[in-house]
Amino acid sequence: MHALRCLLVLTPLALLALGVALIFGSVPLSLADTIAVITGGGEPLHRTMLLELRLPRALSAFAVGGLLSVAGALMQVLLRNPLADPYVLGLSGGAAVGALLAMLAGLGVALVSGAAFIGALVSTAIVFGTAHGTGSWTPTRLLLTGVVVAAGWSALISFLLAISPATELPGMLFWLMGDLANATQPLAPLLVLLVVVAVAIPFGRSLNVLARGPQQAASLGVAVRRLEWTVYLSAALITATAVTVAGSVGFVGLIVPHMLRLLIGYDQRLLLPASALAGGTLLVLADTMARTIIAPEQLPVGVITALLGVPIFLWLLHRSQAS
């Protein structure tokens, strides 16, 4: 009942955000124009603007926001640490190095995305391989490995920025901050989001049990090692997908699961689909702001999410200490 109510609130909010993203932009459209285009009419210019520019971008934003939030929620359970986010294990650093190398080599958008994806997977493999060590990996060990690997990537990023020609720098910085300007193919990330949420929900109860510690979970019948592997690899894969589409958009994966936990509780079966919806909604709105605040110029969406995310997060943290 409770679950149904949450999804009944979040779904219209998501649709509303998509509507807002279609109407607003450097050239605002009237509601009537937008409806005309959606129903199959409207002026050709409006049609092009809405269906070929704004809609794919808004859907990409939705997918990326949803993916990052789900990945954040998964990482927080896996590491049993509420401060974990999708990038905590150094994945975004690996992706960034891959992307920057591709840009430096003068490759096109598609190859930059491909390089980012490979970079993310390389980072995942390094962290998981070394954290595993000789024995079993503990959350602390995984976290420490991730933090150190991330520091290594960030040094490489600084190095690449230092040796890059000035003309490449704006593009690189936009990528590093997270930017949806090149996100024109929403289908693949949306599909990944749908599949991951559909697959994750049946694991939800096991994840609830896992949050009580690996031994307790094992004694309640959870195949802990297998579940942890699955969670880690799927979180890595969906983060890599998100980063490939939009660069490293920060804070969504940290904040959205947190806010939802305060609002709807800790049941992963509800939290994961709700994260997908709320994260998507948030990033669609943030990207609409990124496109309109200084129009016709655009901001990287990561700036907006960070500017919104930092105060919200500090407020949440302050509030949770008080209670």
Partner 1 sequence: MSAPLMALDGLCVDVPERADGDPLDCRFEGGQSWAVLGPNGAGKTTLLMTLAGLRTPRRGRILLEGTDLNRLPRRRIAQRLGVLFQHHHDGFPATVLETALMGRHPHLRAWELEHADDVRAAEAALARVDLLALAERSVQTLSGGERQRLAFATLLTQDPTLLLLDEPTNHLDLHHQIAMLELIGQEVAAGRCAVMATHDINLAARYCSHVLLLYPDGRACWGSTDIMLSVPALEQLYRQPLATGTVDDLPVFLPRTGG
Cα distance between residue 79 and residue 121, in whole Å: 19
Whole-angstrom Cα Rg for the chain: 20
Q: Counting contacts by CB under 8 A, is residue 213 touching partner 1?
A: yes
CA distance 82 to 291: 31
Instruction: Candidates 30, 136, 140, 219: give the one binding partner 1 (CB under 8 A).
Output: 219
Of 148-207, binders to partner 1 (CB under 8 A) are 201-203, 205-206
* 220 binds partner 1 per the rule CB under 8 A: yes
Distance from the first to the final alpha carbon of the chain: 27
Decide if 61 contacts 83 (C-beta within 8 A): no
Binding mask 224-243 for partner 1 (x = CB under 8 A): x-------------------
Q: How many CB atoms lie within 10 A of CB 192?
A: 21
Task: Specify the residue, 224 or 277, whose C-beta has the smaller distance to partner 1.
Answer: 224
Find the binding residues for partner 1 in span 77-116 (CB under 8 A): 77, 80, 82
Q: Least CB distance from residue 79 to partner 1, whole Å? A: 12
Alpha helices in 178-299 (DSSP H): 187-210, 214-219, 224-246, 252-264, 268-292
Cβ partners under 8 Å of residue 322, min gap 6: none
CA–CA gap between residue 150 and residue 170 (Å, rounded): 22
Site string for partner 1, 241-270 (x = CB under 8 A): --------------------x---xxx---
Closest CA to 179 of 229, 125, 250, 234: 250
Smallest separation, CB 260 to partner 1 (Å): 12
In which element (H, E) is residue 67 found?
A: helix 55-78
In terms of CB distance, is 156 or 316 closer to partner 1? 316
Kindly tell me which of 51 and 218 has the beta carbon lying closer to partner 1: 218
Stretch that binds partner 1, among 126-134, 144-152, 163-171, 211-219 (CB under 8 A): 211-219
Length of the chain: 323
Our finding on whether 221 is near partner 1 (CB under 8 A) is yes
Of 175, 36, 196, 24, give the one whose Cα is nearest residue 107: 175
Q: In the bound complex, what is the minimum distance in angstroms from residue 265's beta carbon to partner 1?
A: 8
Applying CB under 8 A, what is the total number of residues that bind partner 1?
Answer: 27
By CB under 8 A, is residue 222 in contact with partner 1?
yes
Residue 5 or residue 26: which is nearer to partner 1 going by CB?
5
In the bound state with partner 1, the residue whose beta carbon lies nearer, of 158 and 216, is 216
Query: What b/e readout covers 223-248, taking b as 16+ CB neighbours within 10 angstroms?
Result: ebeebbebbbebbbbbbbbbbbbbbb
In the complex, minimum distance from the CB of residue 212 to partner 1, in angstroms, rounded to a whole number: 4
Binding flag, residue 7, partner 1 (CB under 8 A): no
Residue numbers at the binding site for partner 1 (CB under 8 A): 77, 80, 82, 201-203, 205-206, 208-213, 215-216, 218-224, 261, 265-267
